[in-house]
Amino acid sequence: MKSQRALTSWAASLRTQATQLGQIAMLVCVGAVRARRPKGELLRQLYQVGNRSLLFVLVTLGFTGMVLVFQSCLQLSRVTGDLSQVGGEFIKYLVHEFGPSLTAMMLATRVGAGIAAEIGSMVVTEQVDALRMCGVEPVEYLLVPRFLATLAMTLLLAVFGVLSAVMMGAFTAHQTFHVPYSVFLDLSKVKLPDVLTGCIKALSYGAAIPIVSGFCGLRTHGGSEGVGWATTRAVVSSSFAVIVLDFLISALALLSWQSM
C-alpha cells in the first residue's frame, strides 16, 4: 500500500518534470528561431563556452587518443602484428563515436555545471523573478544564448578534440610502436556516413546539454546548498543524456547502415 503510494507520487513527479523539460525545450527552440535577443550576449556566451573549455577538451581528448592507440596497437601486435590498419580505423572510430561523445561528456561537466550554477544562483537571489517583473521570459532571455552557443561550440570543440586525439595518437604510435606518420594518418576509411553520424551526435549533445542543465538550474530552490544540488543534478543529468543519446544514435546509425 505504502510503496504503491510512493510509486504513484514518484510517477506523478516524473511526469511534471518531463512536462516542464518539454516546455523549456519548446521555449528554447522557439526563442532560438525568433531571434529577438541582444547581439552581444550570444558572442559573450560563445566566448564563455568555447574559450573556457578549449584547453580542457584538447587535453582530455589528447590523452584519450594516446590510450586508445596504445591499447589497440598492443592488442594487435599480440594477435597479428600488422599495425598498418590501426590509424585508419582509429580515425574512423574517433569521427563517428569517440570524438563527439567524449567532447560532450567533458562539456556536460564543464558547461552544464556552469549553466546550472549561474542560473541557479540567479534563481535563489530572485534575479529570475526580477527578470519576469521586467516583462522578460527568463527561459528565453537566459537559455537561448547559452543554447545557441553550446550548440555551435560542441560541434567546433568536437572537431578540435578529434584533431588533438589524432595528433596524440599518431605521436604515440610513432614513438612506442614505430608506425610512420604517413601510414597512421590514413583518412581513406572515413566515409560520409561516419562524418554525418559524428555531426548529428555533436549537434544533439550540444542541444541536450544546455536544455537539461538549464532545466536543473531553473528548478533550484533553497539557498547556497540549493545551488550546489542543482549543479550536481545538472552534471549527472546532462552526462546521462549524452550516454543515452550516444546509444540511440549509434543504434540508429547501425540499423540504417545495415538496411542500406
Partner 1 sequence: MIALDGIRKLHLDPVQPPVFDGISLRIAEGETCGLCGPGASGKSLLLKIICGLVRPEHGTVEVAGRDLGLASPDELRSIQSRIGYLFQNNALFDSMTVQENVAFPLRQRLRLGQEALDEQQILARVSESLRGVGLATHAAKMPSQLSGGQRKRVALARAVVARPPLLIYDEPTAGLDPVTTAKIYDLLGTEQKLTKSTTLIVSSDIDALRRFSDRMLMVYRGRLCYDGPSADMDESASPVVRQFVRGELEGPL
Partner 2 sequence: MTRALLTLGMVVLSLCREVGGMALLGFYTFVNLLRGRFDAKELVRNLYKMGVVSVPIVSLTALFTGGTMVIQSGIFVQRFQAYGLLGWGTGYAVLREVGPILIGLMFSGRVGANNAADLGSMVVTEQVDGLRALAIEPIPYLIVPRVLAMMLAMFCLLVLGDAVAIGGGMLFGKLLLGVDYASFYASFVDAIKLWDVTVGLLKGTFFALMIALTSCHYGLSVKGGAVGVGQSVNDAVVAAALLIMVSDDIWTMVLR
The footprint of partner 1 (CB under 8 A) covers: 36, 122, 125-127, 129-130, 132-137, 221
Return the one option of partner 2, partner 1, none that residue 80 interacts with (CB less than 5 to 8 A, by type).
none
- In terms of Cβ atoms closer than 10 Å to its own Cβ (0-12, 13-18, 19+), residue 32 is middle
Whole-number minimum distance, CB 26 to partner 2, in Å?
Answer: 26
Applying the rule CB under 8 A, the residues between 5 and 34 that interact with partner 2 are none
Angle (nearest 5°) at CA 93 between 87 and 95: 100
In order of 188, 202, 249, the CA distances from 256 in angstroms are 21, 19, 10
Q: Which region, judged by CB under 8 A, interacts with partner 2, from 3-11, 18-26, 55-63, 140-148?
A: 55-63
Using rule CB under 8 A, residue 66 touches partner 2 = yes
Q: Which region, judged by CB under 8 A, interacts with partner 2, from 2-10, 23-31, 137-145, 229-237?
A: 229-237
- The residue (of 18 and 254) whose beta carbon lies closer to partner 2 is 254
Using rule CB under 8 A, residue 256 touches partner 2 = no
Whole-number minimum distance, CB 132 to partner 1, in Å?
Answer: 6
Using rule CB under 8 A, residue 67 touches partner 2 = yes
Using rule CB under 8 A, residue 116 touches partner 2 = yes
Query: Do 28 and 139 meet the contact criterion of CB atoms below 8 Å apart?
Result: yes
The CA distance from 56 to 41, in Å, is 23
In the numeric block, which cell numbers belong to residue 17? Answer: 518534470
Applying the rule CB under 8 A, the residues between 186 and 225 that interact with partner 2 are 223-225
What is the number of other CB atoms lying within 10 angstroms of the CB of residue 214? 31
Return the one option of partner 1, partner 2, none that residue 67 interacts with (CB less than 5 to 8 A, by type).
partner 2
Question: What stretch of H or E contains 122?
Answer: helix 113-124
Query: Do 234 and 212 meet the contact criterion of CB atoms below 8 Å apart?
Result: yes
